[in-house]
Amino acid sequence: MSQFISSRAANPVDWQRHFMSLAEAIEAQRQGAETTLSSFAGEQSDFIRFNAGKVRQTGSVSQGKLTLRLIDGARQAYSTLTVCGDLRQDIDDVGAALATLREGLRDAADDPHLLFDTSKWERSTQRSGKLPDPDGLLRSVAQLAEGLDFVGFYAGGTIVRGFASTSGSRGWYEVDNFNFSWSLYDPSGRAIKTTYAGDDWNDAVFARKVEQAATRLTVLARTPRALAPGKYRAYLAPDALSELLGTASWRGFSAQTQASSRSALYKLHVGEVVVDPRVSISEDLSLGITPGFNEDGYLRENVSLIEAGRSVERLTNARSAREYGLTPNGALTDEAPAALAMQGGDLLEEDVLAKLGTGLYIGNLWYVNFSDRMNCRLTGMTRFATFWVENGEIVAPLEAMRFDDSLYRLLGSELEQIGAQAELLLSDSTWGERATGGMQLPGILVRSFELTL
């Protein structure tokens, strides 16, 4: 994929106007009963990488990508091309892509699971945010990280997504946001990892997060506590819970994997397992962190996935709907949640250590994967920001240990309290482009969490 990189993005492209002009040109070139579905992804972003509290890499990216689907009867073909921002050139490239797709359809077989929305609709989300000035951010980090081994990555700017179809549907999503994750390292090699994400940057909040992490560095310098394998009382911070739910929900709430009995949450869906009635989880489009439409032209909906501890609905895209006789609800191709939200509880943040008493404070988890998919049993490592707590006080870091436990247990019989404040965790993926979506999760206090070695 081509892209334009400089110290700052100059003369940014008006991607909305550009895409809508391309959509009109595409529709003007269709022939006969052809249908076209056009999806657009673009951004104007700043990226800064820090190491030892100093800038190691900085730059800006302005890029746009168009995916064009040509449908004729039950046959379809698609092509993805980078747009340069010059309308005349991009229209020529689109015309060439359409000609290639049209030629390919001549020998294409019918797609038995082809389904797309044919209604006409318009949906637009445009939200300007308060982002840090890159030069000001460099100065802030230099000041706050003085004397600290600060390693981090900042990505922020404008993300856009668009959709257009020959039925007249038009969708546009344009938001400003940022995602900054960093670690403070102790000479021992242990670290405190922190994340700050959102669309309303606040220098005071950033400074407080750095300072809070720095105060815990003194704890990292203490002799780490080595624990024997066993079950321990634990508090899982939102970041740690996101690793567990992120693994389980990837295809776990999918209509396709449920229909084929391959979902990691299958036993929950069929009612063989229930979790604590205080647990409610949904795909919440009202968070505004992902577009309200998908690549098949369907408007996306809020979907209740778990309500009062019981499975409710599944994420269903058009292909699964066609194959299994279901109704699509706007799910993405992979049928994974893009705006997963868990309802908070009554555990105040300032009371976490006191309520935990003696046990594990787990800030985040690493390398999470299934050890027993059909029982939703997960394994991984505690690694950074896991502490041993005694009588409500953090007393020592924990040696990295492997855990192996069932999400059914953690959200069921072992769940004691749910955090009152849910934290917004935006996706930090920048593979090819900055991703939309994320999670809004509280922390959870559990009676036991199983460490294995």
Say yes or no: 27 and 63 in one domain. yes
Instruction: Give kind and range of the element (H or E) at residue 46.
Output: strand 35-51
Say yes or no: 179 and 284 in one domain. no
Predicted pLDDT at 8: 42
Residues written for the chain: 453
Surface-to-core class of residue 103, CB atoms within 10 Å of its CB (0-12 exposed, 13-18 middle, 19+ buried): exposed
- Taking CA atoms, 213 is separated from 186, 208, 218, 350, in Å, by 11, 9, 10, 16
Q: Which of 176, 201, 216 lies at the terminal end of a domain, its last residue? A: 216
DSSP symbol at 226: P
Say yes or no: 81 and 42 in one domain. yes
Decide the pairing of beta strands 438-441 and 339-342.
parallel
| Phi-psi region at 216: left, alpha or beta (left = phi > 0; alpha = psi -120 to 50) | alpha
Say yes or no: 203 and 246 in one domain. no
- Report residue 26 CA to chain centroid gap: 31
Predicted pLDDT at 11: 65
Say yes or no: 72 and 112 in one domain. yes
Q: Where are the beta strands (DSSP E) in 199-244?
A: 230-236
Say yes or no: 319 and 302 in one domain. yes
Distance spanning both ends of the chain, measured CA to CA: 44
Tokens 């991703």 locate to 435
Into how many domains does the chain fold? Answer: 2
pTM of the model as a whole: 0.93
Distance CA 286, CA 46 (A): 26
Structure tokens at 321: 């709907």
Q: DSSP for 78-92, please give it.
A: EEEEEE-S-HHHHHH
What pLDDT, in 10s, does the model give residues 347-364?
999 999 999 999 999 999
| Phi-psi region at 230: left, alpha or beta (left = phi > 0; alpha = psi -120 to 50) | left
What is the span of the domain harbouring residue 420?
222-451
- Determine contact, residues 315/331, Cβ cutoff 8 Å: yes
pLDDT confidence tier of residue 385, bands split at 50, 70 and 90: confident
pLDDT confidence tier of residue 384, bands split at 50, 70 and 90: confident
Predicted pLDDT at 12: 76
Tokens 């955090």 locate to 419
Q: Which of 167, 182, 216 lies at the terminal end of a domain, its last residue? A: 216
Surface-to-core class of residue 235, CB atoms within 10 Å of its CB (0-12 exposed, 13-18 middle, 19+ buried): buried
Tell me the average pLDDT across 189-210: 94
Amino acid at position 208, single letter: R
- Taking CA atoms, 260 is separated from 77, 251, 320, 385, in Å, by 26, 12, 11, 39
Structure tokens at 154: 């900042």
What pLDDT, in 10s, does the model give residues 399-426?
999 999 999 999 999 999 999 999 999 9
Say yes or no: 152 and 246 in one domain. no
pLDDT confidence tier of residue 297, bands split at 50, 70 and 90: very high
Predicted pLDDT at 303: 98
Say yes or no: 19 and 106 in one domain. yes
Sign of CA dihedral 182, 186, 188, 190: negative
Q: At what angle do helices 15-28 and 87-105 cross, to 10 degrees?
A: 40
Say yes or no: 297 and 186 in one domain. no
Q: Which of 216, 246, 270 lies at the terminal end of a domain, its last residue? A: 216
The domain spanning residue 212 has which CATH number?
Answer: 3.30.2290.10
Say yes or no: 380 and 322 in one domain. yes
Say yes or no: 54 and 110 in one domain. yes
* 182 DSSP β-pair partners: 152, 194
Tell me the average pLDDT across 128-136: 95
**pLDDT at 184 exceeding the cut of 70:** yes
Say yes or no: 233 and 195 in one domain. no
